[in-house]
Structure 1
């Protein structure tokens, strides 16, 4: 009523009723709801719908339009456009370029690879003087273990022990991606086996230097020369054969050659000149993640740069959290972890995937926003993959499926890496009459 009287008074006085129009800069994402667009331009929704109709689009105020259409509308109303993308939320975790002066030498990350039962963990134990093998199921490593070892000359080495079993290819390939040096363990009485070849392929793909450890040298039937000649077929030429690759004869049982192996690793890491800046926000890779009773989701993280401290807020893959506690490889609680240090991180809101990257953010809101964006992007990707099949394909599949019986299974594993490996193995099982269908897998 007041406004009406005001207008009438202005009309009587012969003044202009129109207010000055404010030109705005409108932030425009990849898709926007019509009412939200009107809101951002401070225009009436009816006017925006009307101008869309003039363009030949019959939409209501609750429908979504694409950025190009919205841009035309914004320009028609005389505002300026500022394109923003949903992916902009990830800009907070920018790559920091470190100054040469800030970089300090960091311990090398060494991955032990090789065929199943060739003595990788026993070799690590001999180096670590600890017994892990006895605790493994049937003496076979199920998970990636990460340990720090102090060599006799005082240098620190970080070891990753990857499972040798065939099903764990996916985990092993990740093991090679965070490492600086690969130690290829080959049993002297068994020579080169399928997974030895696979490990060589991973090391070459990751472009990391390799050291060959010829294990079980104390056995009566040991034949190290056969190992060296077998390796030639896979383009691994050891120093004894006048090549580049260092080779060391070791025995995990008697401890022979361990010091030479550590020296070889130390020499190789000196050549690589590994450096990192500990005085910055931490960045690391998840080696393994599990859901622990009483502790919630726990991730084994190898810090690659910076220092992770208790109380840091971080985002890792589609999960985020705040560091409640850090536990080192000996099971002790630590306040912080620097470059090349493996730690268990507590305080996640869900289990991340093995191989996800951990980044520290400044605020919890940032971390939540990035995690939500990534989760939505992954969901859209899955939906798009499902929508890509045409009706004919669906019909053809349905016809083919009539003759096949399915065994639906749920996979629950203690850690993410195992779950993945088991699902991959399960999907390959089957013939023309029956097959396995994995309904869901999780930790």
Structure 2
């Protein structure tokens, strides 16, 4: 019986009796670089690839075994006879004893060794409740800056104290190859969030057409659009909306009209995975070309199934069989060859095979079992945006992912916000609401939104404004952190190894006199741990060439009283090169000193903020809760706790949950009662004292050489 929908990697590993890491390695070696965790779901193509590779490996092992039997004595055990048992034992025990032992071992390493070696990554974490980014980084054995950087690459701007939601925890854990298990308490939180949405129903598939230039991609889109009378009315309007709907019988399909593969990747970069299916257009007379391979890699990286449309079958020299054979080299095996890639032969110009292609898309969509909640606060993805020239202000073309978007809804969208004043469909007609997968143009943004940003409906215009403002502040902070993170990692590695580091500096200024003055001032900056070193100086603006040099040297650029070219600024943000620009030399030197100082390990100080007495204990599904009375100061949700009994500290932990009556709260002040649950400790009893404290990081200052 053919399975419908994706199969969990762990489930396939259990079925094939192999370690999940074997499957992950196979997929990564065959282009699926994004697969890093056993929790990943595999589409049909990935599943068939794994089955084929595992079968080939076992066949090879069997052949090797026969050869060894002829060489070695029958009584001598072979490695291949021992390995399955070892693998089975590991798989059977991987969830508890082995992994627990591994974590314990990593925590008890001598301190001297910890300083010289990076933190050891764990295999699995157990989430018991809300978790800050810092707590998450500690749990997986990574530096917070690494997590911040990866989140930024995913399109999410986070600070070190940001509270991560379950989806973000799962996504970040997958990036670092860590499994996540949510405890009963955490599952309850997820369920509470899910309660916001209801009425789950099938939704139309969202399709992106990709392929090499001149292989007939635009002609194919026009041919598909021509199958729907409603779409013909849109004409040029479809270009402005960026997506359009096609009906085939009782089914509806949404096509995204993207200008190229870069747009496909740009939306993914902000975590806005919109596409369900990619239609790969390949010309029957030309075969696989560089952009074809690029499109395949984009789709595989996104984990999106591919349907191949072999176009131009009517032109001289067309050879669909050759195309199929070429595609097999890139992991796309046709169904007739035992694979799982649907390949349809079409002629977009003569409208041949268009219905077959639409049927194939519908079949794949049914296999994926696409569903979404129709009730709840809407979430949508911006696919295009522009400033309207007819007085309607900023417009954003969006595709709804959850809930139903309605006229009058207040929303925030990345750094901007607004209220839905009006919505338009692909034909330019006004609509009052949009359900999951449906594309509409939204009027009501305060500023032009960015493609890939998430539109989130909230309860009021005030809340929308506050969320957008918070995003803007975080974005500014995050961009600065991301620019410095590469340099910071290198500096910290050198400092941990006990080396004195010279940080490469490129100096640009308005005059030669300014260049010499700034270079001389930098030369006098001598510190014990770290010091700057000018590797290039010149008169003129900061150019892309300067950025390339700074990238190669892993250095910084200082610009005094001169401009930074726009293309250099964009390249610097992409490459992670810090550029500091000022019109006062003193301010520029301060910036450089701050860059150097920020990379020194901060001093950590414990600050007591409150004290509470345990009055009673209660058992709940999530664990034991201490009923406390706050005697002094306050208790905050993100605080640390020392449990004191008879004047001695018997445990140190973090607060897992903080409640007053049945409500979760951020803090409880002196003189009030509350319920406290701690992480990994529940043996408290009435009379125990909770000393509440936080750790404050204080920046170290640079020490000048004498």
- TM-score by shorter chain over 0.5: yes
SS in 1 for 2:323: helix
* CA shift for structure 1 position 310: 0.5
Is 1:402–2:402 an aligned residue pair?
Answer: no
CA distance in 2, matches of 1:402, 1:142: 46
Classify the secondary structure of the residue corresponding to 1:267. helix
CA RMSD of aligned residues (A): 3.7
Tell me what 2:312 maps to: 216
Match of 1:231 in 2: 327
CA distance 1:238–1:87, change in 2 (3 Å):
same
The alignment partner of 2:374 has SS state of: coil
Listed one character per residue, the Cα deviations across residues 321-340 of structure 1 (whole Å, up to 9, x for unaligned) are 00011111121111110000
Bigger RCO (CA 8 Å, 6+ sep): 1
Map of 1:159 onto structure 2: 255
Deviation track 1:5-29 (CA, whole Å, cap 9, x = no partner) reads: xxxxxxxxxxxxxxxxxxxxxxxxx
Matched position secondary structure for 1:103: strand
What's the secondary structure of 2:326's corresponding residue? helix
Secondary structure of 1:260 counterpart: helix
**Contact 1:164–1:195 (8 Å) recurs in 2:** no
Instruction: Work out whether residues 409 and 457 of structure 2, in 8 Å CA contact, stay in contact via their aligned partners in 1.
Output: yes
Q: Please state how far the C-alpha of 1:115 moved relative to its aligned partner.
A: 1.4
Give yes or no for contact 1:250–1:257 (8 Å, CA) kept in 2.
yes
Partners of 1:334 and 1:100 in 2: how far apart?
Answer: 22
* Alpha-carbon distance in 2 for matches of 1:176, 1:381: 19
> Is the 8 Å Cα contact of residues 286 and 300 (structure 1) preserved in structure 2?
yes
- The equivalent position to 1:206 in structure 2, one of 279, 285, 302, is 302
Alignment of 1:149 with 2:246, yes or no, is: yes
Separation of aligned partners in 2, 1:210 and 1:380: 38
**SS at 1:177 equivalent:** coil
1:273-292 paired onto structure 2 within 5 Å: 273-292=369-388
What's the CA shift string for 1:336-361, capped at 9, x where partnerless? 10000011111001122211111100
CA distance in 2 between counterparts of 1:368 and 1:346 reads 17
Worse overlay, 246-255 or 220-229 = 220-229
CA displacement, residues 300-330 of structure 1 (integer Å, 9 cap, x when unaligned):
1010111101110011111110001111112
Determine the C-alpha separation between the residues in 2 that align with 1:343 and 1:266.
22
Is contact 1:120-1:161 (8 Å) kept? no
Matches within 5 A, 1:300-379: 300-379=397-476
1:243 paired residue number: 339
Superimposed CA distance per residue, residues 198-226 of structure 1 (whole angstroms, 9 cap, x where no aligned partner): 11112111212111111111112211112
Gaps of 5+ in 1: 1-84, 409-426, 428-434
Give the 3-state SS of the residue equivalent to 2:466 in structure 1.
helix
Say which SS state the counterpart of residue 204 (structure 2) adopts: coil
Of 351, 355, 363, the match for 1:259: 355
Q: Which segments of 5 or more consecutive residues in structure 2 lack a partner in the other structure?
A: 1-159, 167-188, 489-500, 509-534, 545-550, 552-563, 571-706
Q: Given that residues 197 and 376 in structure 2 are in contact (C-alpha distance below 8 angstroms), is that contact kept between their aligned partners in structure 1?
A: no
1:122 corresponds, among 205, 219, 225, to 219
Shift of 1:240: 3.1
Which residue number corresponds to residue 477 of structure 2?
A: 380
Q: Does the 8 Å CA contact 2:267/2:452 hold for their aligned counterparts?
A: no
CA contact (8 A) 1:158 1:340 kept: yes
Q: Is the 1:143–1:162 Cα contact (8 Å) retained in structure 2?
A: no
Contact 1:185-1:214 at 8 Å conserved across structures: yes
Q: TM-score by structure 2 length?
A: 0.42
d(CA) in 1 for partners of 2:272, 2:348: 23
In 2: Cα distance, 1:333 partner to 1:235 partner = 44
- Name the SS for the 1:352 alignment partner: coil
In structure 2, C-alpha distance between the alignment counterparts of 1:355 and 1:326, rounded to whole Å: 19
In structure 2, C-alpha distance between the alignment counterparts of 1:403 and 1:239, rounded to whole Å? 63
Tell me how many residue pairs correspond in the alignment. 325
Question: How far did residue 281 of structure 1 move?
Answer: 1.1
Partner of 1:22: none
Q: State the Cα distance separating 1:254 from its structure 2 match.
A: 0.9
SS in 2 for 1:382: helix
| Distance of aligned partners of 1:88 and 1:311 in 2 relative to their CA distance in 1, 3 Å threshold | farther
